[in-house]
Structure 1
Amino acid sequence: MEALINYLLQFGDLNEQQIELIKERVSVIALRKDEYFSEAGKIPRQVGFIVEGVMRGCYYTNKGEEITRCFINENSIVVDYFNFEASTAASEYIQASTPCKLIVFSKQDWDELSHTIVGWDNIKHKMVQQCLYRKSRTGPVISQDATTRYLQFMENYPSLTNRVPLAYIASYLGVTQQSLSRIRKSIR
């Protein structure tokens, strides 16, 4: 819980009473590897804070090909925010790439904090902006060659190369697993 509070305090001030209210509004959940936090076709109903583990955002092409769009690791919020706020069906999945432990807010509790804590909307806005900025900066640039994309992945996500399945990394980079294996061998 302390990690969540420290995370929130980066974005604004909260007094002890507000912190206690936040603690009362959350629950802790565990997800097994490959379990979904949010699914395409369903309305996202919670905001999570990752205490342990790695999650990924992914979708399927019209040919059924799975594409990993981003990775989210510890000390980050995870939510399909636009669909969560609008209460509309998601078009992507958020899936546990490793076993995960999360602190979650339900939609109702998330909204109630906006009505109860002065400044909560400002804190939310700053958190979402940071997530969107991070997501936009860490995506692979498809015009680059595959080796450059992998090297950038290692720079952006140094702790993930040995934590998530190679299939997810290959999907994120837009290469086959065989190509990724060759790239990894060539740069050792």
Structure 2
Amino acid sequence: MEQLINYLLHFGHLNQQQIEMITSKAVIKTTPKDEYYHEAGRIPREIIFLLDGIMRVCYYNNKGDEITKYFLDENNFIADINSYNQGIPSTEYIQAITDCEYVVLSKTAMEELSMTIISWDAIIAKITAKGLAEKVNRISPMMAEDATERYLMFLRNFPTMANRIPLSYLASYLGITQSSLSRIRRNIR
């Protein structure tokens, strides 16, 4: 829980009473490796903060191919924010790549915190803006680079994740086949 509070404090001030309220509303849960935390077609009713592990966000294209959009590791909030805010079914899956432990804040808890803590909405707005900027920065450069450059960029931007993600998921994220990724890795060494 301390990780969550420390993260929140980067975005605004919280007094001890507010911190205690947040921790009273938060629940720690786990999802084992390879299990899905969230499936497409469901309406998200909570936001999570990843304490330990890596999750991947993916979807199926119109050909039925599974496509990895991005990965998230420790100290990140995870939510399909559009579906969560609008109360509509998600089009994405969220899968635990490793055993994952996270803090859950239900929609009800988020609303109660919003009504009770004056700075809560501003803190959440800053976190959301940061998350959206990171999402754009993660995806945009991928479009202009060749496969080797995309892989090298991934290694530069996410050095702690590279050895924790199965090659098939990394290849999907990079938009290449697993054999192409293996060839790129061999050529780099």
Using the size of structure 2 for normalisation, the TM-score is 0.97
| Bigger shift: residues 175-184 or 152-161 | 152-161
1:134-149 correspondence runs (5 A)? 134-139=134-139, 141-149=142-150
Runs of 4+ residues over 6 Å off in structure 1? none
Show structure 1 runs of 5+ residues with no match.
Answer: none
CA–CA separation in structure 1 for the residues paired with 2:134 and 2:36? 22
Moved more, 167-176 or 153-162: 153-162
Q: In the alignment, does 2:169 pair up with 1:168?
A: yes
SS at match of 1:141: helix
1:96-107 equivalences in 2 (<5 Å)? 96-107=96-107
Between the aligned partners of 1:142 and 1:179, the Cα distance in structure 2 is: 17
The alignment partner of 1:28 has SS state of strand
RMSD in angstroms over aligned alpha carbons? 0.9
Give 1:77 deviation, angstroms. 0.6
More helix as a share of residues:
2
Q: CA deviation at 1:41?
A: 0.6
**Structure 2, unpaired ranges of 5+:** none
Corresponding position: 1:34 with 2:34: yes
SS at match of 2:163: coil
Map residues 143-162 of structure 1 onto 2, 5 A cutoff.
Answer: 143-162=144-163
CA distance, structure 2, for counterparts of residue 143 and residue 65 of structure 1: 22
Moved more, 138-147 or 1-10: 138-147
Task: Map residues 15-26 of structure 1 onto 2, 5 A cutoff.
Answer: 15-26=15-26
Q: Give 1:37 shift.
A: 2.0
**Shift in Å at residue 127 of structure 1?**
0.6
Structure 2 Cα separation of the partners of residues 177 and 136 of structure 1:
25
Q: Does the aligned pair in 2 maintain the 1:46–1:104 contact within 8 Å?
A: yes
Alpha-carbon shift at residue 171 of structure 1 (Å): 0.2
Deviations along 1:140-171, one digit per CA (max 9) or x if unpaired, are 52332100000001111111111011111000
- 1:187 counterpart residue number: 188
Under a length normalisation based on structure 1, what TM-score does the superposition of the two structures give? 0.97
Aligned length: 188
> Which secondary structure does the structure 2 equivalent of 1:162 belong to?
helix
Q: Distance in 2 between matches of 1:173 and 1:159?
A: 17
Q: Percent identity?
A: 51
State whether residues 142 and 174 of structure 1, in contact with CA within 8 Å, keep that contact through their aligned partners in structure 2. no
